[in-house]
Structure 1
Amino acid sequence: MTTVSWDPALYRAFDDHRSRPFLDLVARIGDPPAGLDGVVDAGCGPGHLTGVLARRWPDATVTAFDSSPDMVAAAREAGVAAEQADVRDWTPPAGTGIVVSNAVLQWVPEHVDVLRDWAAALAPGAWLGVQVPGNFGAPSHVLTREVAEQPRWRDRISLRGTETVLDPAGYADVLTAAGCTVDAWETTYLQRLDGEDPVLRWISGTALRPVRDALDDDAYADFVAELAPRLREAYPRTADGSTWFPFRRIFVVARRT
């Protein structure tokens, strides 16, 4: 997985907006057959949503893991028995009925292979639910890449583009070929953000993490100072002072057949 440091508090600054796709994903996952009572939150982040899985499947054994030690620590503080693991090295154990991966696999360049391996390891009747952001062609990301590609930054920052994730049909083809029945779709959430430079604050918790890791404090401040006015122009304030931020998400729910 791409090595990125995480700030759990910053990530949760837009908790309601980040939670909604998770809830929409889980709503489409059915119940596993008897005997497959393991439910896994693969890439649990700060663990604030893992409890949703326990409430949805109260008789299940819910486990969680994340590659970030900071996120694992935050999840444990929230009462989640999270472990540190990389999705590339993890295999669904026997008895797993549901694997949920929310906004994680976009960080893994080889995640299509990961999905094939997970599907192959699942027992018949088990479910796999995945959500990834599909906004790599949005102004928020295009403008970030434009700044990063300037001569002063390009040797220090490496950002991926629209090839980062597949479209719904791409994931449907991959998992159908892996022996699953598939429900794949996309949703663009029109999010209302408030405050100063809200889009910059939003991507500071996710898309800008590789930039933050690559630069020292002064260089990062210069990068942000150059990016901020571009984002303000691309995402202007409305009459009431809020900002509309369209955010495309890609979903796939697959059941092993």
Structure 2
Amino acid sequence: MRWDPEAYLGYAGVRSRPYFDLIVRIDERSPRRVADLGCGPGHLTQALAQRWPSAALEAWDSSADMVREAQARGIDARLGDVRDWAPKPDTDVVICNAVLHWVPDHIDLLRKWVSALQPGAWLAVAMPRNIDEPSHTLVRELANEPRWRDLVAEVVAPATDVLDAVSYAGLYADLGCEIDAWETNYIQRLMGDDPVLEWLSGTTLRPVKTALDDETWQRFRDELAPRLRAAYPRRDDGTTLFPFRRVFAVARVR
């Protein structure tokens, strides 16, 4: 899958808050190695280097475009699938933000990582939990209409089973970890014309854009835009309020 670093960074401020809400719950002062899985364009990975300057920092992403952006920021980012990643023996902190909702078997992956980490290591994950929100259901509905079905229905993200915070807390507890899990519904105050469409263009809609030529992609956008406007109406002050739920799960291995 190709991701668009420029579109993604267009909302860097509002996208960044969940990342910092996640890492602030990691009570580790001097980790030997920190892994950022799904590092994106690297702007948030830089914060890890500032917080833990003595740690070896490794960064992974499945998008070559994102890896290039991160490398341009001086991050030693590598191209790879998180399902292929395994912690080195000195890994004390693992961060995986807004990635595992793309991985259908992520529960098994979490179990695998916990079993591979050393006692005292931290595993912190955060995932959007919006698959049933209009921002996602409207994309799926349009993609499955007859004129689009053969072109994009197969590339639209499936309804990956992202659980609630209680379920992830139970998973970590069953694995013998210390646990910290919660959910937050962020209300993003977006600006501009069709801001929800622009937000989705940086992430959810990237597979659709990749599957279409420029003219057909524009037609898809033109059909999706009024549906999103109706679901997320523009306010009198020119802003659009966009709820965005995230589930967080932090574990310390024992």
TM bin, normalised by shorter chain, reads over 0.9
Task: Say yes or no: does 1:64 pair with 2:59.
Answer: yes
**1:162 offset after TM fit, Å?**
4.4
Partner of 1:238: 235
Describe how 1:149-188 pairs up with structure 2 within 5 A: 149-156=144-151, 157-158=153-154, 159-188=156-185
How far, CA to CA, are the matches of 1:160 and 1:212 in structure 2? 13
Residues in 2 aligned to 1:218 and 1:167: alpha-carbon distance in whole angstroms: 39
Q: Does 1:110 align with 2:105?
A: yes
Amino acid at match of 1:200: L
Deviation at 1:129, TM superposition (A): 0.5
Name the CA distance, whole Å, in 2 between partners of 1:164 and 1:228.
Answer: 27
Query: Partners in 2 of 1:14 and 1:194 — Cα distance?
Result: 10
* Structure 1 residues 245-256: aligned runs within 5 Å: 245-256=242-253
Partner residue, 1:6: 3
Does the Cα contact within 8 Å between 1:137 and 1:161 map onto a contact in 2? no
The 1-side partners of 2:150 and 2:175 are apart by 39
For normalisation by structure 2, the TM-score amounts to 0.95
Q: Find the counterpart in structure 1 of residue 27 from structure 2.
A: 30
Moved more, 232-241 or 178-187: 178-187
Letter matched to residue 252 of structure 1: A
Give the percent of matched residue pairs that are identical in Structure 1 and Structure 2. Answer: 54
Which amino acid letter does the alignment assign opposite residue 52 of structure 2? Answer: W
Q: Which amino acid aligns with 2:150?
A: D
| Match 1:119 to one of 105, 114, 125 | 114
- Asked whether the 8 Å contact 1:182–1:254 carries over to 2, the reply is yes
CA displacement at 1:30 relative to structure 2 = 1.1
C-alpha RMSD of the superposition: 1.4
Counterpart amino acid of residue 194 in structure 1? M
| Aligned counterpart, 1:86 | 81
**1:199 matched to 2:165:** no
- Divergent runs of 4+, >6 A: none
**TM-superposed deviation, 1:135:** 1.1
SS at match of 1:40: strand
Provide TM-score, normalisation by structure 1: 0.94
Q: What displacement does 1:77 show?
A: 0.3
Q: CA deviation at 1:161?
A: 4.9
Q: Deviations over 1:112-159 (max 9, x none)?
A: 111111111100010000011111111111111110110122233233
Q: Aligned pair 1:101/2:87, yes or no?
A: no
Do the aligned partners of 1:75 and 1:82 also contact (CA within 8 Å) in 2? yes
Q: Deviations 1:135-193 (Å, cap 9, x if unpaired)?
A: 11111111111101101222332334544412112222222222312111110111110
Output the CA distance in 1 between the equivalents of 2:8 and 2:207: 14
CA 1:160–1:167: 2 relative to 1, 3 Å: farther
CA distance in 2, matches of 1:164, 1:242: 31
Q: Which amino acid aligns with 2:69?
A: A
Secondary structure of 1:92's aligned partner:
coil
Amino acid in structure 2 at the alignment position of 1:188 = N
**Aligned twin of 2:49:** 54
Equivalent-residue separation in structure 1 for 2:50 and 2:105 (angstroms): 32
SS in 2 for 1:155: helix
Deviations 1:30-73 (A, max 9, x none): 116x7x51111111110001121122223322221111111111
